[in-house]
Amino acid sequence: MKNIALFGICGKMGKAMLGELVLEKEINIVAGFDKVSIGTDIGVLNGRDITGIKVTDSYDDVKEAEPNLIIDFTGPDSVFDNIKWAIGNNIDIIVGATGLKKNEIENLRKKSKEFKSKVFIVPNFSIGAVIMILLSKLSAKYFDNCEIIEMHHENKKDAPSGTSILTAESIAKTIKYNDSDINDGEIESIEGSRGAFVNGLHVHSVRLPGLLAHQSVIFGSKGQTLTIRHDSFDRSSFYPGLIMAIKNIDNLTNFTYGLESLIKL
């Protein structure tokens, strides 16, 4: 039985995943953590029966609930501290929040080795998105260059997305396309018009109402292009990946990054 504390429980992703998790027989939600709606019964959040478990913003309240797993859907402003607290209290944590910096990730990787808890950072829970990344890595060596366009809803706090960064990092393990963000003879008449530059790739971020999570990886060579695209139209698309992470976390090392560690092509 997994006794879970759901961090970011009042956010869109937290509410969506709560509605699915409560239906699982081997999962018990024992705490809800957020900065808003403090004192609200978590049953109210997904329109179900009153549970007696109320939203809290206190680490002490979470610890008192004795979870053996935390799932974090908070945000860039708090996720790093949340993970450090989980590690220090020997509680396993699956992190769906994005926005962690490279130095923070390395800090957590080192810190996790000093404790018993497992840290599983998952920039994208969509199995389709993970397969998109794996296919992009396989395709990279056959093309002359590549650019990434990622599109998300207007309330996403970080840009570029964690998925696009992970995609660029994965491709760079196969080939590094560009050493500079500007091509020879190229002029950016407006600064930033070529997008962000991540591991030798240009990444373009779009934020618009009506979008959820979408990404195109566009490869080009003489006379042809290849586009590998993934679209999430509903947050339910993330649930199979979340359940996969929950079921497999006991078999992972102290620190794991990316759902692709569980998916083999």
What are the DSSP E strand ranges found in the chain? 2-7, 27-33, 55-56, 69-72, 92-95, 119-121, 145-152, 196-198, 201-207, 213-221, 224-232, 255-257
First to last CA, the chain: 30
Active site residues: 152, 156
pLDDT at position 97 is 86
Q: Which CATH superfamily is domain 2-121+236-262 in?
A: NAD(P)-binding Rossmann-like Domain (3.40.50.720)
Q: Which residue has the tokens 């607290």?
A: 85
pLDDT tens per residue across span 2-55: 999 999 999 999 999 999 999 999 999 999 999 999 999 999 998 788 899 999
Q: Which residue has the tokens 């610890």?
A: 63
pLDDT at position 133 is 95
Arithmetic mean of pLDDT, 237-245? 96
Which sequence spans correspond to the domains of the chain?
2-121+236-262, 127-233
Residue 154 and residue 137: Cα distance in Å, rounded?
Answer: 28
pLDDT tens per residue across span 165-224: 989 999 999 999 999 998 888 999 999 999 999 999 999 999 999 999 999 999 999 999
pLDDT at position 123 is 86
As given in the structure block, the two tokens for residue 128 are 């389709």
pLDDT at position 108 is 95
pLDDT tens per residue across span 83-135: 999 999 999 999 998 888 889 999 999 999 999 899 999 988 999 999 999 99
pLDDT tens per residue across span 131-170: 999 999 999 999 999 999 999 999 998 899 989 998 999 9
Binning the chain into helix, strand and coil, the percentages to the nearest 5 are 35, 25, 40
Domain 127-233 CATH class label = alpha beta
What pTM value is reported for the model? Answer: 0.85
Residue 119 and residue 14: Cα distance in Å, rounded?
Answer: 19
